[in-house]
A and B are shown apart, each in its own frame.
Chain A
Amino acid sequence: MGRKAKKNDSLPGSLDMLILRTLSLRDVHGYGIVQFIQQSSDNELFVEEGSLYPALQRLELNGWIDGVWGVTPNNRRARIYKITAAGRKRLAVETRKYAKLTLAIARVMGAE
């Protein structure tokens, strides 16, 4: 099945990694993830909000995160996502890959 290439996605798969990272710090609902990524990147990263949900579904189906019905800080019913053990492993893998990639890019950019 051909999913359309995401716009402005310089790092493929980075959204998954960002979500896993967010959830490794705290359990939050969908909108909370968007806010967290925005705030912690000093408004540099804007998640394409709509794309968040297909990504959450994918992560859940892979067993990396788990969504359960709960209550938001504003007392609204929402699905609160938690990272699973498999998700933490996955995050570690992604983080290593990301570190290698950024290092490689930095080397290229820094080369004379």
Chain B
Amino acid sequence: MDSARRSEALREEMELHLAEKAEELEADGLTAERARAEARRRFGNVGLKHEQSREIWMTRFFSELGQDIRYGCRTMAANKAFSALAVLSLALGIGANTAIFSLMESILLRSLPVADPESLVVLNWHSRPPKDGDKESVHVVHGLQGIFWPGANGALVSGIFPYRAFETLREENPVFSTLFGYFNGHDRTLTVRWQAMSASTEYVTGEYFRGLAVSPAAGRLIDSEDDRLGAAPVAVISFATSQNRLGGPSNAIGQSILVDNVPFTVIGVAPPEFFGVDPAAAPEVYLPLHTNVLVDGARAARIYGDENFYWIEMMGRLRPGVSMAQAQAVLAPRFHQWVATTAKTDGERVKLPALILNPGAEGLGSLRRQYSKPLYVLLTMVGLILALECANIANLLLARAAARRREMAVRLSLGAGRPRVVRQLLTESVMLASLGGALGVVFAIWGMRTLTVLLSSGPRNLTLHAELNWSVLGVTAALSVVCGLLFGLAPAIQSTRPDVMPALKNGRGGGPRRRAQHVLVVAQIAVSFLILVAAGLFVRTLNKLHSVQLGYSRENILLFTVNARQAGHRDPEIVTFYADLRKRLESIPGVSSATLSHSSLISAGLAGSAIRGEMKIGAVTIDDAGVLAAGPRFLTTMQIPILAGREIDERDQRGSTPVAVISEELARTYFGNENPVGRRITLVDEKRDLEIVGVSANLRYGGLKDEEESSMTMFVAASQISPGRMTYALHTAGDPLRYVKSVHEIVREADSRIPVTNVVTQAAEIDRTISREIMFAKLCTGFAVLALLMACVGLYGTMSYDLARQVGEIGIRMALGAQRGAMVWMVLRRVLILSAAGLAISVPAALISSQLVKSFLFETQPNDPGTLALAAVVLLSAAILAGYAPARRASRIDPLAALRHE
């Protein structure tokens, strides 16, 4: 009887007692009221008595639990090897689950660390894409600074707006108590006391901190007065920055800092847990929105008035009692009305953006969009592995349960209740699982570090806030208990089956237990096949990515980025500065050549073309050519062969003839068999011509996974455009990272205000673009090995146990003349039957479930027959290997000994 029912029954009994007593007293002549009071008085404190009774049950519960735990400890100590194995494998499984879950929690589930995050909403819009059907792009968005992402039904979704839209929505807003805007200022050069370093910045409107309800760790935060043209330039810095760069939060207030050489005064420090509104980013400096005019110059001033330039992001805080749907109903028509006035043509009018509100509690969705699917896939895999482990331990416990059947039978026949014995067995398994969980937390901490490194070696500036907090630990604890119950229940029920007599008689296990064991083994084989297939697919994807022809050197190249413009260098001097720096770098002993370009080749697709506008050869427009602004000796450094003419070199100066080098594919497409050297390319927007001076071999411009594979590349001279940020590349003898120190020294000598950022080898820079694939391949290989091991242990255990039961039978057979080979075959045949059953279930499952990871694969079909076959072969070999030891033992059985034993 459970506690609540017992408590209710007791209450009813006491009520009845009081009623009967009162009746008796009434019969003696008391008034009804007096009688009730007297009955109560004589009874004593009803509540207290009720409590005392409850206490009796609880005491009993705990004392029994104590007994069970003591008994469990003894059992565990008696089977040290088993206990250690079970705890260790559970720790691995629970640890992996905890680590992946903690990442999920930090990325997908956790709220922004601000007051009442539930009332925050993010403003987005969606519209039909600018290009559909016709190739012309027609859209009210004429220019933008920010990102889009694909929505449902091919729609375009974005969170950036023109400043006018922000102003329009902010006016007399009946649904928001505050509406605030912000935009990513990206990396800037932050100079504190002549020390320059790169820092991430966020421009925020005056309502930002008030809207988020954040209070400062020191000083004050940016308010509306600071966010005006002409206001004194002030900055708020992150807590970490105040500690690392300014000597603590309180010291920071009032100090002067330079952001891209523009002076700002620090007025406040954000609280330690605050990381802005995007869980992927962690701004180090917050600047008032309008100060971008000071930092970015006149171009920034123009974007405030441009109704077709989209750049500012917005969040609002709902007024109390207003729902998101109500807010949407009020704001969407208002936005529609405004945006309709910005459309210039009918084409633009049919694709007007429509406002949508999204919950803002978890911050911006950039990380969620990127990682939710990979994380769910990983979580599924670790979940499966944990299930495998549970199955394994259940299997071992089943075997042990058979051994303990006599013990259980004795207990049952001595009058122990079956539930009581089951409870004691479950206590044992939950204890095992809890130990596993506790150890699993240690594994989880290690796993989280590894995962964070694996993940954050990917996109730059990705900040993960994964940690072991209470909700993660709660999940771990729940997982442990559930595991314990899961793997403990079947054996517990099995071993306490009420047919006591047969067990007492011979002590050998019966049929049902064996069947349960076989079902578990088949399930294990099926699950490990799934994981093997996944690992195979991901490894194959990684191999495909690694075998993509780059056309340039991957090894022995050191890359790093500097931005002289942010340190105050201007045209035309900046060109000379970059050229001098290149020469100095080339003089480092061991560096055979040095060059620079506006981006590394692998991330050139993201950095954008070096030249805007249309390019023509005669009357023909060049389509889809990647343009890289490169300095002298680029082709030499990258080891790209020169097929005709020359590469860009030091002759190509600002004043001299503008030049270009084109790739073979571009040359063949537009010039056929003619020699392109000496021909001209017209830049329509810039109204000038480039002279083709050379042809390079084909190379891969942009990322490895880019769908539109085009080897049409054009190099222009970096000195002949207006350069901003530059990425230098050094071809080195030996490990490129050995030269990092010299690089820092040389850049510091050239200009100490310029920080060196993103120092990385070419190989690592390339791997960074496929970090997800690398992570999947590595993790899944690990998972697959683990799963295979589990399945083998399960198989081995089951076979060994079967064998122990059949010793007599085998003895008889051998005595009757069976060959040893036949005995080996008998065991192996059983292994193969079990494996085949597992595969029969798993192959269709793999074919279906691999479709779910299709988007993670590269040039690999989800039902890739090679991978499936390989996984099957690996699994079968492992199974035979696991079955061979018991098989051999079967063949070695001495018939005499076996029969005598019987």
- Chain A residues at the B interface, C-beta cutoff of 8 Å: 1, 3, 29-31, 34, 48-54, 57-58, 61, 72, 74, 76-79
Is the beta-carbon distance between A3 and B44 smaller than 8 angstroms? no
Q: Is the CB of A76 within 8 A of B48?
A: no
Question: Across the interface, do B20 and A57 meet the contact criterion of CB distance under 8 Å?
Answer: no
Contact partner of B21 (CB less than 8 A), chosen from A31, A72, A77, A79, is A31
B residues 1-47 in Cβ contact with A at 8 Å: 9-10, 12-14, 16-17, 20-21, 42-46
B53 cross-chain contacts in A, Cβ below 8 A: 53-54, 57
Question: Are B13 and A51 in contact, CB atoms less than 8 angstroms apart?
Answer: no
Contacts of B16 in A (CB 8 A): 29-31, 72, 76-78
Q: Complex: how many Å from CA A3 to CA B51?
A: 11
Among A3, A30, A48, A57, chain B packs the most CB atoms within 10 A around the CB of: A57
B-side contacts of A31, CB under 8 Å: 16-17, 20-21
User: Could you tell me if B10 and A48 are in contact, using CB atoms closer than 8 angstroms?
Assistant: no
B13 touches A30 (CB 8 A): yes
Name the residue on A nearest B47 (C-beta): A50
**Residue from B9, B49, B50, B57 within 8 A of A79 (CB atoms):** B9
A78 to B10: give the CA distance in the assembly, Å: 10
A-chain residues with CB within 8 Å of residue B9 when the two chains form the complex: 79
Query: What's the nearest-Cβ distance from chain A to residue B42, in Å?
Result: 6
**Given A1-B59, A50-B49, A57-B57, residue A29 in contact with residue B13 (CB < 8 A):** yes
B547-589: CB near A (< 8 Å → 1, else 0) gives 0000000000000000000000000000000000000000000
A78 cross-chain contacts in B, Cβ below 8 A: 13, 16
Kindly list chain A residues whose C-beta atoms are within 8 Å of the C-beta of B50.
53
* Partner pick for A51 among B21, B44, B59, B60, CB 8 A cutoff: B44
Query: Within the complex, what minimum Cβ distance (angstroms) separates A46 from chain B?
Result: 8
Contact A54 B13 (CB under 8 A): no
The 4 closest A-B pairs by CB, nearest first: A50-B44, A50-B49, A54-B52, A57-B53
B835 CB to nearest chain A CB (Å): 51
B816 contacts the other chain (Cβ, under 8 Å)? Answer: no
Which residues from chain B contact A49 at a C-beta distance below 8 Å?
A: 17, 21, 42-44
Contact mask B292-332 → A, CB, 8 Å, 1/0? 00000000000000000000000000000000000000000
Given the complex of chains A and B, what is the CA–CA distance between A31 and B43 in angstroms? 11
**In the complex, A48→B46 CA distance in Å?**
12
From B21, B43, B45, B55, name the one whose CB has the most chain A CB atoms within 10 angstroms: B43
Q: What is the CA–CA distance of A29 and B9 in the complex, to the nearest angstrom?
A: 13
B13 A61 Cβ-Cβ under 8 A: no
Q: State how many residues of chain B have any CB contact under 8 Å with chain A.
A: 24
C-alpha spacing A57/B42, complex, angstroms: 20
Q: Indicate if the CB atoms of A3 and B52 lie closer than 8 Å.
A: yes
In the bound complex, residues from chain A placing their C-beta under 8 Å from that of B60 are 61
In the bound complex, CA of A72 to CA of B772 (Å): 74
How far is A14 from B99 in the complex, measured between Cα atoms in Å? Answer: 59
Question: What's the Cα separation between A78 and B11 when bound, in Å?
Answer: 11
Main secondary structure of the interface of A (DSSP, over half): helix
A-B contact pairs, 11 of them (CB 8 A): A1-B59, A34-B17, A49-B43, A50-B46, A53-B17, A54-B52, A54-B56, A57-B57, A61-B60, A72-B16, A78-B16
Given contacts A31-B20, A53-B10, A48 and B56 within 8 Å (CB-CB): no
List residues 48-87 of chain B with CB under 8 A from any CB of chain A: 48-50, 52-53, 55-57, 59-60
Q: Is the CB of B45 within 8 A of A50?
A: yes
Chain B residues positioned under 8 Å from A58 (CB to CB): 56
Q: How far is the CB of A71 from chain B (nearest CB, A)?
A: 11
Closest to B51 in A: A54
Q: Which residues of chain B come closer than 8 Å to A79, judged between CB atoms?
A: 9, 13
Q: Are B56 and A30 in contact (CB under 8 A)?
A: no
| Chain A residues near B56 (CB-CB < 8 A) | 54, 57-58, 61
Q: CA A16 – CA B92 in complex, angstroms?
A: 53
Residue of B nearest to A32 (CB): B20
For B48, what are the chain A residues with a Cβ–Cβ distance below 8 Å?
50
Please, which residues of chain B bring their CB within 8 A of the CB of A72? 16, 20
Q: How far is the CA of A34 from the CA of B80 in the complex (A)?
A: 55
Give the distance to chain A from B504, nearest Cβ to Cβ, in Å: 23
- Cβ of A6 to closest chain B Cβ, rounded Å: 11
A18 CB, nearest partner CB in chain B, Å: 16
Q: A31-B20, A50-B44, A53-B50 are in contact. List 20 more A-B contacts (CB 8 A).
A: A1-B59, A29-B16, A30-B16, A30-B17, A31-B16, A34-B17, A49-B17, A50-B48, A53-B10, A53-B13, A53-B14, A53-B17, A54-B52, A54-B55, A57-B10, A57-B53, A57-B56, A74-B20, A78-B13, A79-B13
B465 to chain A, nearest CB (A): 45
Q: List chain A residues, Cβ under 8 A from B20.
A: 31, 72, 74, 76
In the complex, the chain B residue whose C-beta lies closest to that of A58 is B56
Nearest CB of A to B679, in Å:
98
State in angstroms the CA–CA spacing of A3 and B44 once bound together.
Answer: 16
Q: Which residues of B contact A74 (CB under 8 A)?
A: 20
Q: Give bound CA distance, A51 to B42, whole Å.
A: 11
Bound complex: CA A48 to CA B42 (Å): 7
Max count, chain B CB within 10 A of own CB: residue among A53, A74, A77: A53
List of B residues within 8 angstroms of A30 by Cβ: 13-14, 16-17
Question: Shortest Cβ distance from A15 into chain B, in angstroms?
Answer: 13
Closest to B50 in A: A53
A79 nearest in chain B by CB position: B13
Bound: A79/B20 CA distance, A:
14
Instruction: Quote the shortest CB–CB distance from B158 to chain A (angstroms).
Output: 65
Query: Which of B17, B21, B43, B55 makes the CB contact (< 8 A) with A1?
Result: B55
Within the complex, the shortest CB–CB distance from A60 to chain B, in Å, comes to 9
| A50 and B13 within 8 A (CB) | no
Residues of A contacting B46 with CB < 8 Å? Answer: 50
Q: Which residue of B lies closest to A7 (CB)?
A: B44
Instruction: Contacts A57-B10, A74-B20, A79-B13 given; indicate if A51 touches B49 (C-beta within 8 A).
Output: yes
Please indicate the chain A residues that have their CB under 8 angstroms from the CB of B10 in the complex.
53, 57
Residues of B within 8 A of A53 (CB): 10, 13-14, 17, 49-50, 53
Bound together, the chains give a CA A38 to CA B45 distance in angstroms of 21
Q: How far is the CA of A32 from the CA of B55 in the complex (A)?
A: 24
Closest chain-A Cβ to B64's Cβ sits at a distance in Å of 10
For A57, give the chain B residue with the smallest CB separation: B53
**Set of chain B residues within 8 Å of A34, measured between Cβ atoms:** 17
User: Nearest chain B CB to A34's CB is how many angstroms away?
Assistant: 8
CA distance A58 to B60 in the complex (A): 9
Query: B367 CB to closest chain A CB, in angstroms?
Result: 51
Nearest chain-B residue to A1 (Cβ)? B59
Complexed CA–CA distance, A29 and B14 (Å): 11
Kindly state the separation between the CA atoms of A4 and B569 in the bound complex, as whole angstroms. 86
How far is the CB of A93 from the nearest CB of chain B, in Å? 18
- For B684-724 the 0/1 string (1 means CB < 8 A from A) is 00000000000000000000000000000000000000000
Q: In the complex, A74→B20 CA distance in Å?
A: 9
Give Cα A68 to B213, complex, Å.
Answer: 61
